[in-house]
Structure 1
Amino acid sequence: MPVEIERKFLVASDAWREGASGTMMKQGYLARDPDRTVRIRIAGENAFVTIKGRRSGLARDEFEYAIPLSDAEELLRLCLPPLIEKTRFIVLHAGNRWEVDEFYGDNAGLIVAELELPSEDAAFEKPSWLGAEVSDDPRYFNSRLAQHQFKDW
């Protein structure tokens, strides 16, 4: 079974921006409760449906499938409002591929860095631009940001 193990951090400076490449994303949720989320995402010209299970520590089941862009555009209309809009930047550091999300709209001002790992105790080098870890803070889950926007914190 596919499992996602992810660490999530706030970003403390803009030093990550040098050499980072970004893709605009729009995503919404067909279901978003503690036991399951069903997400529709458009990333540039690509589209996906993703099903995630309940978290256990830093891990959770994750199934992701490419879908036609036209289907994703229609499915976003069925998603629970509001949608999440962000740019995802890829930043390489010390052999790791960091995903840095810069949010827009009602989540503007929030920048979060994520790192997927092979195990919960996997070692990694933290970049100098990394801030506080928020892996265990549900406010920073994208599904939660769709319900409780950063501007209202």
Structure 2
Amino acid sequence: MIEIERKFLVKDTIHEVIALIRPHQIIQAYLVNEKSKSVRVRIMDEKAFLTIKSDMIGITRKEYEYEIPVIEALSLIKSFGLKSLKKKRYKLEFRSKTWEIDVFEGALQGLILAEIELDSEDEKFDVPEWVDEEVTFKPEFLNASLINRL
């Protein structure tokens, strides 16, 4: 599968917008975390996934995701002694597009990022007022980089 996405910092005003939305609880860790590829374990609510991502070319990369038992995801995180990041994910519809808002917890508390998946690299979309600076091309805002701050 091909993933095409843009990423943005989010203004604090988002808290008013998401106040009544039930978030997904996410814990994720990386088995492989290199510039050209990553292998991620993610637990989201009552499900778990193993995701393999290639290096980004522009805003596009290959992504393969497989559901795995939660107990196996927890075992991988524990047995590899992996750092894990925690966040709450809110999904918002804005002008026919789904935005995913990640509110980070723990050492990354205060960081809020929004992602939008697109059908093509040149797809036009409307930007909500709560969106701040675009960070798509800043590798320090990739989750695989954020985990190194822990």
TM-score surpassing 0.5?
Answer: yes
- Partner of 1:4, secondary structure, is strand
In 1: Cα distance, 2:80 partner to 2:123 partner:
35
- Partner of 2:137, secondary structure, is coil
After superposition, the C-alpha distances for 1:54-110 in whole angstroms (9 at most, x for unaligned) are 110000110001111111111111446321100011011101110000001111100
- Partner of 1:75, secondary structure, is helix
Find runs of 4+ consecutive structure 1 residues off by over 6 angstroms: none
Kindly indicate whether residue 51 of structure 2 is the aligned counterpart of residue 45 of structure 1.
no
In 1: Cα distance, 2:147 partner to 2:93 partner:
28
Q: Counterpart of 1:11?
A: 10
- Partner of 1:101, secondary structure, is strand
In 2: Cα distance, 1:81 partner to 1:40 partner:
10
What amino acid is the match of 1:21?
R
Q: Counterpart of 1:31?
A: 32
Q: Counterpart of 1:125?
A: 126
In 1: Cα distance, 2:22 partner to 2:94 partner:
13
Contact 2:8 2:114 in 1 (8 A): yes
- Partner of 1:147, secondary structure, is helix
In 2: Cα distance, 1:25 partner to 1:79 partner:
18
For the aligned residue pairs, the C-alpha RMSD in angstroms reads 1.3
Contact 1:81 1:146 in 2 (8 A): no
What amino acid is the match of 1:11?
V
Per-residue deviation, 1:21:
2.9
Number of residue pairs matched by the alignment? 148
Kindly indicate whether residue 104 of structure 2 is the aligned counterpart of residue 116 of structure 1.
no
Contact 2:31 2:82 in 1 (8 A): no
In 2: Cα distance, 1:77 partner to 1:106 partner:
19
Per-residue deviation, 1:20:
2.9
Contact 1:28 1:80 in 2 (8 A): no
Alpha carbons of structure 1 residues 111 and 79: separation in structure 2 relative to 1, 3 Å: farther
What amino acid is the match of 2:107?
D
Per-residue deviation, 1:18:
4.6
Alpha carbons of structure 1 residues 126 and 139: separation in structure 2 relative to 1, 3 Å: same
Q: Counterpart of 1:142?
A: 143
- Partner of 1:81, secondary structure, is coil
Where structure 1 has 5 or more consecutive residues not aligned to the other structure, the ranges are none
% identical aligned pairs: 37
What amino acid is the match of 1:10?
L
